[in-house]
Amino acid sequence: MKHSTFFKNKVIIVTGATSGIGENLALRFSYLGAKVVLAARNKARLTALKNHINSIGKEAIAVKTDISIEKEVINLINRTQDKWERIDFLISNAGQYIQGYMDDINAEAFRESFEVNFYGSLYAVKHIIPIMFHQKSGHIVFINTLDSKKGIVGDGPYVAAKSALNGFADVLRQEVKETGIKVLTVYPGRVDTPMIQDIHVPWISPKMSVEKVVNAVIKGILKNKPIVVIPKSLYFLGALNNIFPRVMDWIYKKFRLEGNKINN
C-alpha cells in the first residue's frame, strides 16, 4: 500500500501530541516509519510517549512547547532542524476548547482562545514556511473543527479563533500553491477526546472515534486534498448555513447540538 512507504523517514512535527488526535497521529506516523517531533506542554506525558516510540524501534524526539508563546515555537523548529535538518510535515493540531456566552462577553476568554487556537498555528507556519520554501517541498496540516463552518451556542471564543484559522489556511493554500508546499485543513465534527470528555452530546451528533479522524488525515495527505470533512455527511454544512442560516439555527437549537455539561 502507498502509505506503507510514503511517510518513511519523513520529519513530522505534531503539536498537541500528548492526547487525542495528536497522540494517535504521532503514533501512526511512527509506525509508518516517520521521524516524529512531539510537541506539547506536558513534559511528563511527552517523555513517556517519546520513550514508547523509541522502545518499538522508531525515531522520535520530545520538545516541551507552549504554542501560544512564539519563542517556544521557534525553539521547537530549531530543535527539529538541529536533529534532522529538514521539516516535511507540520501537523498543527494543538488547541483548547474555550467557551463563553454572548450575554456576558469575556474578552480575556477570546484572547486566550486566539493565542492557542490561532496564533499557535500562525507562529508555527511563520517560522516553518521559509524552511519549506528552501526545500521546495512540505505539507502543512491544520486540524480545525466543523464549528468554524457553523458556530454552536456557547462556543464564541473557540469558534472565533478557529474561524480565523479557517481563513488563514484558505489564503495560505492559494499563496503557496506553486512553491511545492501543500496545505490541508481537516474539519472534524465531535471527536471522543479529553477536550470534550465532560460534554454529553445528542444522538444526532455523536462523538466519533479518534481513529476515524486519524485515518481521514492520512488519506487526505496521501490524496493531496485541500479539505477533509469528517464525517463526510456534513460536507455541505457551511454551504447550508450560508443559504439557510435561520433553518440551520433552528436545527441546532431543536436538537441542542451544543450538548450538556456532565456533572461529576
| pLDDT tens-digit map of 84-99 | 999 999 999 999 999 8
pLDDT tens-digit map of 5-37: 999 999 999 999 999 999 999 999 999 999 999
For 185-201, letters b (16+ CB in 10 Å) and e give bbbbbbbbbebeeeeeb
In contact, 95 and 46? CB cutoff 8 Å: no
Q: What is the pTM of this model?
A: 0.90
pLDDT at 253 over 80: no
pLDDT at 248 over 50: yes
E strands, 22-168, in order: 35-40, 59-64, 89-92, 138-143
Band of pLDDT at residue 220, cut at 50, 70 and 90: very high
Residue 206: predicted pLDDT? 67
- Mean pLDDT, residues 184-204: 70
The full set of domains in the chain, from first to last, is 3-261 (3.40.50.720)
Among 120-134, 180-194, 221-235, where is mean pLDDT lowest?
Answer: 180-194
